[in-house]
Amino acid sequence: MDTKELLKKVRKIEIKTRRLSNNVFGGEYHSTFKGRGMTFSEVREYQFGDDVRSIDWNVTARYNEPFVKVFEEERELTMMLVVDVSGSELFGSKLQFKKEIITEIAATLAFSATQNNDKIGLLLFSDQMELFIPPKKGRSHVLRIIRELLEFDPKGKNTDLAEALKYVTSVIKKKAIIFVLSDFMADDYQRTLKIVSGKHDVTGIRIYDEREESIPNLGLIQMLDRETGELIMVNTGSKSVRQAYTSYFKDRENYFKDSFSKSGAGMISTRVDEGYVKKLLGYFKTRG
């Protein structure tokens, strides 16, 4: 992708997702994800109706007049986008790949966080840690994240979600909002997810394609495994083959739901062709 084409794509995504974050998600994001609590702001003279428990006795004794401590919400948060860039994300049976929907959702979340003056960081992973961008604020930072999501060429093709979760907790020490965007066609991450969810506010956003749910009877066809690069002949005319295909998808789906439910983490599932806006908004409203 040349620079001109990349900038055009970045601008297109910015216009669409920023409009969504401004008009739809901004307020919902603010009410859903609270700050870390109350932080000290100032000391002022006691006024009628103030809670006596907020009196600062040291200052009161010094000036021989009652003074109270004033607190305000510590709003600033850190959002981490943990994004799967393995080979399976380059699949789509309709107009868009899973990767493109993931990029749009990530951009929408990032602009929603920016509206609230929060920091946003990015971790791209496959079966290895591909790229880590430390959390920062601002539009230019979000645009950099979008550029990486669009053009980054990963070294690995497979998926290791457990290692990605371990990595993000090793580099992000304070409690953060973590969105994991993936098709979750993986396993062996439940134990790690439970540990991470005990420290951070974690939400899994699962993006899948309808052709991953079931495969039609098309006879003998050649298929490419995006994660291994292997070309294989598949007899889709076989009922047992179609059932095994559907069963594999269901197993991964159930493992995702079970893992996030047991970990106390949030979860959203959206199909490439059904639109993610209502799903995200519904999730925010339910949590808020």
Predicted confidence (pLDDT) per residue in 266-283, tens digit: 999 999 988 888 888 888
Mean pLDDT of the chain: 86
pLDDT tens column, 158-193: 999 999 999 999 999 888 999 999 999 999 999 999
For residues 214 and 234, what is the distance between their CA atoms, to the nearest angstrom? Answer: 14
% of residues, the chain, pLDDT over 90: 44
Half-sphere exposure of residue 87, counting CA atoms within 13 Å on the CB side? 12
Q: Are strands 177-182 and 119-125 parallel, antiparallel or unpaired?
A: unpaired
pLDDT number for residue 34: 59
Query: Two tokens at 125?
Result: 């992973």
For the question of whether the overall pTM of this predicted structure is more than 0.75, the answer is: yes
Is the domain defined by 3-32+76-208+264-287 classed in CATH 3.40.50.410? yes
What is the average per-residue pLDDT within 194-198?
96
Partnered with residue 67 across adjacent β-strands are: 45
Q: Which residues, including other chains, have CB under 8 Å from residue 228's CB and lie 6 or more apart? A: 87, 157, 158
Nearest Cα neighbor of 244 from 233, 254, 234, 259 is 234
pLDDT tens column, 55-114: 889 888 988 899 888 765 555 789 999 999 998 887 766 778 899 999 999 999 998 888
How many Å separate Cα 202 from the centre of its chain?
8
For residues 213 and 39, what is the distance between their CA atoms, to the nearest angstrom? Answer: 48
- Please state the domain extents for the chain: 3-32+76-208+264-287, 38-73
